[in-house]
Amino acid sequence: MGFLHRGCPITRFRLHDQPTPEQLQDATAALARNGFRSIDTLPDELAVGWVSFDDPTDSEWRTAAPERLAHLVWALRLDKRSVPAKLVDVRTRLEVKKFLERRREEIREKVLIPFASKDEKAEIRDRVRASLLSQAAPVPTMADVVWLSPADAAQTEIWLCSTTAGIVSQFTTLFSATFGLHPFLVLPWVPRPDNAEEWPEDIGKRFLTWLYEHDGGALDVSGTDVAVNFEGLTIANEAGDVVITAVTDENDSDEIKQGLANAMQVRECDLLLNISGDCYKVRVKGADFALRVEPIFWNLDREDPDGSFADKVLSLERLFHVWDNLYRLWLIQAGWLSAAAKGAPIARLSPAVAVERAAQQALTEMGAEKVEKTKTGFTATFKNGDTMSVIRGGK
């Protein structure tokens, strides 16, 4: 999907490590080394590679460099051959019949009934599929990539214009192979590894359900007025089965409220967000936070594509900043995050975990250079070589 379309899906990434100046200077060459290679004359089923943001046939960046303003932009191209399963079934049946006819002619005694074994049928099916694939033209799929301010560690974020799981997986693999950097998904409710067990799996749905409570109202998000209006939503029960799908209006509000009162949750929804006069249509799924966003008042000016590109980047940056703070506001109100905490969300801890954290912090404040967790507690090592052991439930 194209970034310069009015509405497009976006998967957000950040990087574990920042790129070096040398990596950024070599970006065009790195992209070209992993550029798309056509399989039109090859029997391959799938081809994946980078192409120019402006020209899906340019995998060497001859028409335009990937640098645009302070950002890097390009596209992921996937060409895939496929054959309908029904067609393979029909052709396989025909080939099996021909195989049996030939075998019948080879059997002298007509009393014997010719048959094809399971392995023989599988072999015939494989040949049929390979033959049909060789005749099928590969179908291209495009997904634009926008790497925001790659030289700015505080601002950098990567947007992939797709939320399809297969495309996201291909992107992360190819990006790592290209730049030697490892992107990770920006999912606001992903916990830190040390408290993963504390977070419920449905926390995204809880957030959307809370957001529906403010439908038709306004919220103060870090000093920014945000009006929330639901245009549609899907409500599911605890098992995840869809129970209610509705376009929100006065007629269906009672049904929705009754469903939510019975412990159902908003699974996905269509929102209209007004952020101090800037309006956005947002489609969001609670399970994986897959987003489709559309700045309503943004338009592509074909005579000034760079200006349009910059306007959309700024518009989406504002949306994502407010969206993340909106989620943070809910975390604080729901008690999952301290109002004074900064950075990654911190879950509420069980008493046992809280005691362990307090012990680790106390040892560090005492001057321990290293605190290691053991089966019975902790061992702290100090600058002078002394060690101290702390046992759970003791000293």
pLDDT in tens, 178-199: 999 999 888 766 555 445 456 6
Element (H, E) at 234: strand 224-236
Which amino acid belongs to residue 60? E
Strand, coil or helix: what is 138? coil
Element (H, E) at 260: helix 253-261
Reading the block at residue 120, the tokens are 């023989």
> Is residue 370 over pLDDT 90?
no
Which of 122-126, 278-282, 371-375 shows the highest mean pLDDT? 278-282
The segment with the largest mean pLDDT, out of 250-254, 308-312, 325-329, is: 308-312
DSSP type of residue 157: E
- Contact (CB, 8 A) for 264 and 188: no
Q: Where are the domains of the chain?
A: 8-81+140-185, 85-135, 193-333, 351-391
What is the gyration radius of the CA atoms in the chain, in angstroms?
A: 28
Report the half-sphere exposure of 217 (CA within 13 A, side-chain side): 9
Number of neighbours of residue 319 by Cβ within 10 angstroms: 20
The CA-based angle 106-112-113, given to 5 degrees, is 90
Burial class (CB in 10 A: 0-12, 13-18, 19+), 317: middle
pTM: 0.74
Q: What is the DSSP string of 8-69?
A: EEEEEEEESSPPPHHHHHTHHHHHHHTB----TTS--SEEEEEE-SS-TT-SS-SS--SEET
In angstroms, the Cα distances linking 31 to 22, 181, 197, 374 are 14, 13, 39, 46
Among the ranges given (3-12, 96-105, 176-185, 381-390), the one the predictor scored with the smallest mean pLDDT: 381-390
- Among 38-42, 45-49, 338-342, the minimum mean pLDDT is found in 338-342
Per DSSP, the three-state class of 86 is helix
**In this structure, are residues 15 and 182 in contact, taking their beta carbons and an 8 Å threshold?**
yes
